[in-house]
Every structure is written in structure tokens, then in C-alpha cells.
Structure 1
């Protein structure tokens, strides 16, 4: 087993990525928003198993290339296997992106749910910018976790009984101050991009809305619920009380806050089953800007 955390989360990544986006929304962005009409050299920071490449390469003009960078050797091996039978020019680079020295050689640098895990996301964003040629784009797809959690509705349950938005907001703010990682970075990226010199900055929100419908296809319902619960996700059991409480207290929660969050998650795990109606709007944000080094 690899020592790298995400090497051991391939199943989690494969099951949860489709929860964030509709495929036709990628098509809309490529054709109507980014207006990519010529082949591009695409680099994916924190590429994982190559999810973005799998989604974007079929939509990009013929001749486009994809380079994935990740620290996970198992992830890259899995990505290489997935792309081996596909008709695209790809390259995978193993390494810690925070220590890369990049030359501007790509038309687009992109990342997905990556900067939120960085201790210094602005420094990593600068590395992405450095990899792009003048006039190229930097695209970051990130969440605002508090807004994401507020996007749930479980039929017959008061939202405040399962999602304490105020507590989650404080928790993520404390995390950012304590270790730099920012689960709410999605809402801040337009500001960061502007401060780092990008121009023509825009931000869009994914149109994906999940609907757990017990009156619909039973297999679809079961698969979606399992994906949402994957690896301690929404509706999963919080597990034993003591480690859960200690974990939240280590992140700055009081014992009262930690107990309240445990009760919320336990209640939710007991409420959701094959008969539950649930809607969720993840609200992933696509923020992008243009690299403009040329002096006017």
C-alpha cells in the first residue's frame, strides 16, 4: 500500500467525481464559454487518475494534448492504464507540484478540487500561472464546502437538524488559519487570480443537482446513495464517538460543538435509506482567467 494518501483513495475519487458535474456542462464550457477552437496543450495539476482529461479530451479540438501531474504513483499508473487504449497524446509526470519550477509551455493549466488541499493555495496557483504561455488560461474547479453542505435537502427533516452551517463555517475558517488548507477556496479564487495578475476573470457554478428518488430506478438510487456515502461522505455513519470528537477538537471545536456535529451526522446516517428523498446541489465553481504578461 502506498504511503501517499490519495493513492489509496482511487475508488473514492472514481465514485464521487461524477457527483459534481454534468458531462454536457463541460461541453458548454468548452464550446460556449472558453471557446476553444484550436488544439491546445492542457496540463492538469493534481490530476489523480486523469478525470479531467477523460472528460475534456473528447471535447477539445483534434490534436490537443494532455499532461497530468500528481504525486501519487498509483494514481498515475491507473491513469496511464485508462488512457493507454485511447487515441490521445498524453504524458504523466510524478512529483509534488508545490516544488515544481515551471516554464510557460501550456495553453491551459487546470485543476479540480486540488487547491483546497494545499497549505499555500496562492503559491500553488502561481505555479499553475507560471506554466502557461502568454494569453493562455488558468482554470480552477473548486468547492465552497459550506455552500455545498447548505445545498442538501432531506425530505421530512429540518435542515438545521442535520447541517449546522454556522459551525461548519467556523470549522473551515479555523482550518485555514491553522494549516492553510481552505475548503471554501472556491468563492475566493476570483480575488486570488486578480491579485496574481490574471485578466478576464470569470466564475461559473456547475449546474449539477443530485436527486435521490425512491420512486425512480432502484439501481440508480442505490448507486447514487452509495457514492454519496463513500469514504465517510454525506449520510455515512460518523463511527465511534471518541475519535470523532477528538478529531474535531483538534481542529479547534469546543466539546459542545464537536458533540453537536456528531449528533447531526449520526442522525443523518440513521435517517437516510432506500426510501429517502434527497436533493443536493454541490455548486462546484469553475473560476478562470487569462495570463497576460505582455506590457500594453
Structure 2
């Protein structure tokens, strides 16, 4: 991906969807996209801002807006970026990178889409949204104590205190979106 076996200026449009947030050198990926896009072509990226994603999640029954520890999420994301170069918040930074690399007419779009599921899950669309949310991580529910210990140690490796790690694990286990989420708003 960092050195695509493609001709220069070959494509009218190049797209990277949820790619930049998983690579250590997003600028190099953008350079490569620029290289293979013809002059006047269109370069499109779509990546998340994980801090924002967590800040905007609302589950009425667990009062996510009041209880999610955004500082913990920021600390984990910062630690991952410092250790690996992978930036889970690259989405908001991409327009600056594009401008720095010489792209013109850089534009950014923020999604104003609000995805709601309200009980009961009585339509295929609601069930699909619920399954998607579960697969995005809300449905992960470790039950094995050794797995919970690994989770705690991973948080501690990212600079989170044992007390904060235990509080976050307890919060997430109590939320139990996978099993209770069908009734959540």
C-alpha cells in the first residue's frame, strides 16, 4: 500500500476508506494516492476520529454521555499513536495533511447521520444496526477472568492506572450491550 505497483497519473479517482487510521505513515499513503491520481483527478479519504466517536455515543440506559471516560480513550489513542504511529484520530487531521502535500480545493465532510435503534428490534433495519454496533466492539463481552486480566494489563500498558482500568472494565461489563442492547435506546 505504501508503494502501489500502479502507473503514475493513472486513475481519475482514488479512494481510501478506513485505511489511514490503520497505517503508521498516512502521509506516505496519501503521497502514493496522489502519485497514481491524474492531474485534476479526485482523491477521497474517509477515516474516523475515535475520540469523537466515543464522545458522541449515547446509550440511554447506561448514560454513556456522563459515564464514558474520554480522558481514558484519549490516553489509549495517544499511547497507540506514540508506540506504533497508528493514529485513530487521523480523520480530523487528513485535510491538513492533504494541504501540506500540495492538494488544492481540499474539502472535508463531517457526517451528521444519527443512527438510532429503539426497542423493540422489530425491523430488519434495526436488527442490522444492532448487529453492526455489536461488531464494532460494543458487543464484545469477555467472560473469562484471564481475558479480563489481559484487557486490564493492555489498558495499563497504555498508561492507564489500575484503578481507572478496573473502573472502565466494570463500566463496560455492566453495560453488556451484546445481551442487553436489544432493549437499549
* Structure 1 and Structure 2 fold alike (TM over 0.5): yes
Distance 1:238 1:146, change over 3 A: farther
Question: Is residue 234 of structure 1 aligned with residue 138 of structure 2?
Answer: yes
Q: Name the counterpart of 1:225.
A: 130
Q: Name the counterpart of 1:251.
A: 158
Note the aligned Cα RMSD (angstroms). 2.1
* 1:81-160 superposed matches below 5 A: 97-100=1-4, 102=6, 103-160=8-65
Q: Name the counterpart of 1:198.
A: 103
Q: CA deviation at 1:229?
A: 0.8
The answer to whether the 8 A contact 2:80-2:158 is kept is yes
Deviates more, 1:217-226 or 1:124-133: 217-226
For structure 2, the 5+ residue unaligned runs are: none
Question: Is residue 169 of structure 1 aligned with residue 77 of structure 2?
Answer: no
Length-normalised TM-score, structure 2: 0.86
Length-normalised TM-score, structure 1: 0.56
Q: Name the counterpart of 2:184.
A: 276
2-side partners of 1:272 and 1:198: how far apart? Answer: 47
The residue matched to 1:253 in structure 2 has which SS?
coil
Q: CA deviation at 1:255?
A: 2.1
1-side partners of 2:110 and 2:65: how far apart? Answer: 24
Q: CA deviation at 1:132?
A: 0.6
Post-superposition Cα deviations, 1:219-272, rounded to whole Å, max 9, x if no partner, equal 443332222112x61243144311111222233333233222212211221683
For structure 1, the 5+ residue unaligned runs are: 1-96, 278-296
Q: CA deviation at 1:274?
A: 2.1
Q: CA deviation at 1:218?
A: 4.8
Post-superposition Cα deviations, 1:4-30, rounded to whole Å, max 9, x if no partner, equal xxxxxxxxxxxxxxxxxxxxxxxxxxx
Match of 1:214 among 105, 113, 119: 119
The answer to whether the 8 A contact 2:134-2:140 is kept is yes
Distance 1:160 1:259, change over 3 A: farther
2-side partners of 1:204 and 1:219: how far apart? Answer: 29
Post-superposition Cα deviations, 1:80-102, rounded to whole Å, max 9, x if no partner, equal xxxxxxxxxxxxxxxxx123254
Instruction: Give every structure 1 segment of 4 or more consecutive aligned residues whose post-TM-superposition deviation is greater than 4 Å.
Output: none
Distance 1:160 1:208, change over 3 A: closer
The answer to whether the 8 A contact 2:33-2:43 is kept is yes
Q: Which of the two has greater helix per residue?
A: 2
Q: Which of the two has greater strand per residue?
A: 1
